């Protein structure tokens, strides 16, 4: 296929044996839970939210109907640690997202009803009212803020990884990717960034880069290891986690930072309560315990905010 054309790789249906053999992580297949090639039982399982108490000030900010109902429906994109992954039982979801969601639900005195959903379908489903809230390492962007509200809880962002033998030392300008094959996830800010800047290669008189888009969370890593892609673009935390567990790969560099938040339909009345709950977790120490558990203390934020402006992209 010409590098001028964008390649979309759809989600594959894998047997459990094949998924484990490929050590690929799937957002929809509980059998394929580790994109980094690490054993699933290596995921931390200590309970750091059990002691979270009811935050009465935050509870008072909930809509009356939600307090009376006592439940929240949450759509979770499950696939890439440390954000989210399945334990070996194929049912239990762990990760940053799961811990923060559970802690906020406890603070608000609500029962959390979690449903696994594909990353690319969650935001549209929120707009239709199917779910109350979504998680999936959703970065806050100006485009998303037009239709979605966010309550921030960490700062992550965009980064790159390559095979250990790659001549690339860093990617500080996307024209450094010209002529290469870049693997990334469907419906992500990475896909949007790459597509938005694709024309810069031609403007610089260079061969365009090819964007290989995958629905399977571990598929970009498999493509990288097999030489079908030259670079992976993904979350900073996810890349660091993966390369620590995959021989023959290396973290290249951070490209840009983005705030990450719980996602809601535009105008949701839940956002003030969620913000108060997250800030309460910071005050009682739970917030820092969650970050330490997953090894991402550098992703801490000073305070939770509702739909803050997108952090500026690198000047080029």
Residue 314's pLDDT is: 76
**Cβ distance 87 to 38 under 8 Å?**
no
| Span 16-37, average pLDDT | 33
Confidence of residue 136 (pLDDT cuts 50, 70, 90): very high
* Interatomic CA distance for residues 295 and 291, integer angstroms: 6
| Span 164-191, average pLDDT | 95
Task: With a cut of 50, say whether residue 39 has pLDDT above it.
Answer: no
**Cβ distance 12 to 27 under 8 Å?**
no
Is 9 in a helix, a strand, or coil? strand
* Interatomic CA distance for residues 184 and 135, integer angstroms: 19
Q: What percent of the chain has pLDDT over 70?
A: 86
Range of lowest pLDDT (34-43, 133-142, 163-172): 34-43
Residue 21's pLDDT is: 27
Q: What is the pLDDT of residues 240-260, one digit of tens each?
A: 999 998 999 999 999 999 999
Residue 227's pLDDT is: 96
Is 15 in a helix, a strand, or coil? coil
Q: What is the pLDDT of residues 52-77, one digit of tens each?
A: 999 999 999 999 999 999 999 999 99
Residue 305's pLDDT is: 98
Residue 119's pLDDT is: 87
Confidence of residue 113 (pLDDT cuts 50, 70, 90): very high
Residue 123's pLDDT is: 94
Distant-in-sequence, close-in-space partners of 189: CB < 8 Å, separation ≥ 6: 139, 141, 158, 258
Q: What is the pLDDT of residues 279-313, one digit of tens each?
A: 999 999 999 999 999 999 999 999 999 999 999 98
Residue 316's pLDDT is: 61
């Amino acid at each position: 296929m010409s590098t001028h054309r964008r390649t979309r790789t759809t989600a594959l249906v894998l047997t459990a044996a094949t998924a484990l053999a490929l050590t690929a992580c799937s957002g929809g297949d509980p059998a394929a839970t580790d994109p980094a090639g690490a054993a699933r039982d290596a995921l931390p399982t200590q309970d750091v939210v059990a002691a979270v108490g009811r935050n009465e000030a935050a509870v008072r900010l909930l809509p009356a109907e939600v307090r009376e109902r006592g439940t929240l429906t949450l759509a979770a994109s499950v696939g890439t640690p440390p954000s989210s992954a399945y334990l070996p039982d194929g049912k239990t979801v762990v990760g940053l997202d799961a811990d923060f969601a559970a802690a906020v639900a406890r603070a608000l005195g609500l029962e959390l009803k979690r449903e696994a959903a594909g990353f690319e379908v969650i935001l549209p489903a929120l707009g239709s009212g199917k779910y109350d809230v979504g998680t999936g390492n959703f970065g806050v962007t100006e485009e998303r803020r037009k239709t979605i509200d966010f309550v921030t809880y960490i700062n992550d962002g965009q980064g790159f990884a390559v095979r250990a033998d790659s001549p690339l030392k860093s990617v500080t300008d996307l024209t450094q990717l010209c002529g290469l094959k870049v693997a990334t996830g469907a419906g992500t800010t990475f896909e949007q960034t790459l597509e938005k800047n694709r024309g810069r290669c031609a403007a610089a008189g260079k061969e365009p880069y090819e964007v290989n888009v995958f629905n399977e969370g571990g598929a970009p890593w498999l493509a990288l290891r097999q030489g079908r892609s030259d670079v992976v673009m993904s979350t900073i935390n996810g890349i660091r986690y993966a390369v620590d567990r995959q021989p023959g790969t290396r973290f290249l560099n951070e490209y840009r930072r983005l705030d990450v938040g719980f996602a809601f339909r535009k105008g949701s009345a839940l956002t003030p309560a969620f913000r108060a709950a997250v800030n309460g977790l910071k005050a009682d120490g739970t917030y820092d315990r969650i970050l330490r558990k997953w090894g991402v203390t550098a992703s801490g934020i000073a305070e939770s905010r509702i739909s803050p402006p997108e952090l500026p992209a690198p000047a080029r």
